Structure 1
Amino acid sequence: MASPYLCAAGAQDMSVTSSIWKVVLSLIFVIAFIPACLWLMKRFQFAQMKLGKSDIKIISAQSLGAKEKLMLVEVEGERLLIGVTPQTISHLRSFPPKATSFASVMEEVDRENTAAKKDDGDAT
């Protein structure tokens, strides 16, 4: 015959096991819920940006360090190269709207710098 103590111990083991499963399932739910919320926030933010139709467009951004960036933005058809740091935003150069990519803009700047160096070399 089973003693009442063994029955009570079996019931207690079952309740401990079920509570462990409840904790594990709750943890899995929370871990899955956080990325789902982040995804929804990004999705709604992107939808708001589309609906806003802002006159300022970020064409390209290049990270230069932990908190420094070069950004090519378009405002009213004119492209601007700006430097962004935690303290300041600096206008570096303006470009006509013909440039199609950040790489082509950087190549144009490189060509102009090379030409300027040649002119400086010829002057000395």
Structure 2
Amino acid sequence: MQEVSVASSIWKVVISLIFVIAFIPACLWLMKRFQFAQMKLGQSEIKIINVQSLGTKEKLMLVEVEGERLLIGVTSQSITHLKSFAPKAKSFASVMDEVDKENTADNKSTGDSQ
């Protein structure tokens, strides 16, 4: 008779353990969903477009605020505004491509006349 009570108490422990193990991921999932809902309600008008690390505590950040892009320098002690860009400014890479095309066109024209 005692074997039955030992077996039933072992099953109770196993079922309780399974419940606890299943309960933890469910709670984490609920917390994640709640945080996502909070972020949607409090959406900010500030967007981080790109971050370039310059050292352990120094960064260049391109942020967008109300359609305007700002290049800022961030250190552990300060934040410095470096440059503002028009709302629909070209990307740095596209500007460099245009300059490169102009330079190659100039080089070809000067090379042909020599």
| TM-score normalised to structure 2 length | 0.62
Q: 1:69 to 1:21 in 2, by over 3 A?
A: farther
Report the aligned-residue RMSD: 3.1
Give unmatched runs, 5+ long, in structure 1: 1-6, 112-124
**2:2 alignment counterpart:** 8
Within-5 A mapping of 1:21-32: 21-32=15-26
- C-alpha separation in 2, matches of 1:76 and 1:95: 12
Is 1:37 aligned to 2:26, yes or no? no
Identity of aligned residues (%): 37
Runs of 4+ in 1 over 6 A off after TM superposition: none
**1:73 alignment counterpart:** 63
Q: Matched residue of 2:42: which SS?
A: helix
Q: What is the one-letter code of the residue matched to 1:58?
A: K
Residues 47 and 65 in structure 2, CA contact (< 8 A), matched pair in contact too: no
Residues 49 and 64 in structure 2, CA contact (< 8 A), matched pair in contact too: no
Q: CA deviation at 1:60?
A: 0.4
Q: Matched residue of 1:87: which SS?
A: coil
- C-alpha separation in 2, matches of 1:63 and 1:35: 32
**2:111 alignment counterpart:** none
Is 1:58 aligned to 2:52, yes or no? no
Q: Matched residue of 1:99: which SS?
A: coil
Q: Matched residue of 1:73: which SS?
A: strand
| TM-score normalised to structure 1 length | 0.58
Q: Which whole-Å deviations, capped at 9, do the CAs of 1:55-109 have from their partners, x for residues lacking one?
A: x431502252776543322345532111234432222211122226xxx145548
**2:72 alignment counterpart:** 82
Q: Matched residue of 1:61: which SS?
A: strand
Q: 1:68 to 1:8 in 2, by over 3 A?
A: farther
